[in-house]
A and B are shown apart, each in its own frame.
Chain A
Amino acid sequence: MSSSPQAESREGATEPNHAVRFTAIWVIASVIATPLVVLLLGPILPPGHGSAQASGQVTDNTVLLAMATPVLLLVVVYLSYAIIAFRQPAGGALEGPPVRGDTKIQTTWIIVTSVLVLSLAVYGTVRLEQGNGAGSGGGPNPIAVPSGPKLPVQVIAQEWAFTYRYPTYGGVETPHLVLPVNETIELNVTSLDVIHSFWAYQLGVKADANPDVDNVAFVRPTKEETFEIHCAELCGIWHGAMFDHGHVVSRAAFATWIHEQQQRFAPATKVLPKYATTYLPEPTRRGE
């Protein structure tokens, strides 16, 4: 097969070292872009700073973004470089030389991506089970349990609403979730019927609500605010209606509120079952 003049020129002594040029561009772009991403995007990443757990998630998202930025740039810079440097010259179609594989590149690629993914897996696991549980449900016996006193609040899901029970306040149940600021809350999340998921967005809490399961999550709200509550598990036709707003208030305001709830819902409290981490209400089927 005869080669064209263009192909010959690419194989000639004047052809620049593309690997060095590309690597230099990519390194420079990464060194500039990564700090910018961390400094400019990091502070506004979700879910915000409504709790210690939410702030931890912002940190995690920032770390992930910082690690993903060079990877994204690798793809974008390579694509752009290829479009410019290896552009098909005018004057007819020309096939490039066949690529038969490169052991050095392939080995480097496998090692780098493996290290990247495994390090992220280790980082994620450590962060999930470190100290405060990261706002996720840890099952009935979570590995990560914050130290110090905790206010238990039971989250009870059913189609299609959440209610909340405060066992240390006479087991009162209310349709509203109000939490004191700067106190560690132990959320005991369960369901009376199908699977749901309790998601307090600004607090960085998301825990599955399963029947007959006590899914424990911890949160320490750090500022007084109103936060959104959603069900995050498709639970039936009115799943979309299963949302509400919760409130983080001062300790004094919480004391006043919970006292008012105890009085207001005294008739219902009398007929509630004794507080338990899970409930298996009957009947499960009408007529049984």
Chain B
Amino acid sequence: MVELALSGDPEAFGEIVRRWERRIFALAFGMLGREEDARDATQETFLAAFRNLRNFRGEAKVSSWLHRIAVNQCITRQRRAKVRGETALEDEAEKNAAVFALPLEASPARTAEYVERSQAVRKAVSALPPDLRQVVVMKEFEELTFQEIADALEIPLSTVKSRLYTALRQLQLRLQKFGEAESV
């Protein structure tokens, strides 16, 4: 399909987008934590892929190639956001999004807990270093196998496992802190 796209067939690239759009969006959402950012990053990923179509190496998988582009797009986007200091507004928007996601019959106390928990998880994941975060997102959001992650990131299988272990430990500590703060 990439060969068709390379030969200038616009339908072929459209098919690549259709095939990988949701996965890349899931990855971007896990990496960035916000739907709006995830949509933008997904668009930028496919735009970058289209521009760099000629640099695609035939021996690599399309999924790996797109994942790498998407991860880079997310990291770049997060750096830019940090520079602009887009945190307070993001938090507010995320809080509102979580409230709307709740069932209508949920009690105010339950709603508050739900929102807090959701935010804590998102913040904990967002706070992970990019190399750990991407492994967590690929595993939890995309449900890729260890081998698929290793192939996509071009790292050894054992490195994937050790990164995931480290990421889980960090997340555990962060969520533990949240639980302690909540109980106080």
Decide whether A and B assemble into one complex.
no
B positions within 8 Å CB-CB of A: none
A positions within 8 Å CB-CB of B: none
